[in-house]
Amino acid sequence: MEDLKTAVMHEVKEGIALTSKAVNEVKKIKSENTIPDDYVLRIGVKGGGCSGLSYTLGFDAEVKDTDKILEFDEVKVAVDWKSILYLNGTTVDYTDGLTGKGFTFNNPSAKKTCGCGSSFGV
């Protein structure tokens, strides 16, 4: 039997991990919205939010020369070089529980977070 950590977590790449649930949800969203296969999932950080920094997540057709390209079970992820610094050790998950649906970021580098979980400070 596959151990729980292997079943839940994909390989950590460049300090970022996507859970199996997050990967499956990305594939589902791409399929349901007919997003082209060559689009990448862009994960990043930008200034703003009540704690100083906010996570960004979306599909992007453009890949820059300075992006880190990671792949999790055929899901290509692009992360800009500045965001990698803030996302080291972060696990992206997808939740569909009673408290709501959506992607979550578990970032051990975050020293403070806001109540909604979408902004953080280091």
Is pLDDT of 39 > 60? yes
CATH, residue 79: 2.60.300.12
Is pLDDT of 65 > 90? yes
Is pLDDT of 27 > 80? yes
- pTM score, two decimals? 0.77
pLDDT digits (tens, 9 = 90+) for 69-81: 999 999 999 999 8
Residues in contact with 34: Cβ distance below 8 Å, sequence separation at least 6, in sequence order: none
User: What's the whole-number mean pLDDT along residues 20-34?
Assistant: 97
Higher pLDDT: 22 or 97? It is 22
Residues in contact with 10: Cβ distance below 8 Å, sequence separation at least 6, in sequence order: 17, 18, 19, 20, 23, 72, 73
Number of domains in the chain: 1
Q: What is the pLDDT of residue 48?
A: 66
pLDDT digits (tens, 9 = 90+) for 4-21: 344 344 555 567 999 999
Which amino acid is present at 62?
Answer: E
Q: What domain range is 94 assigned to? A: 4-121
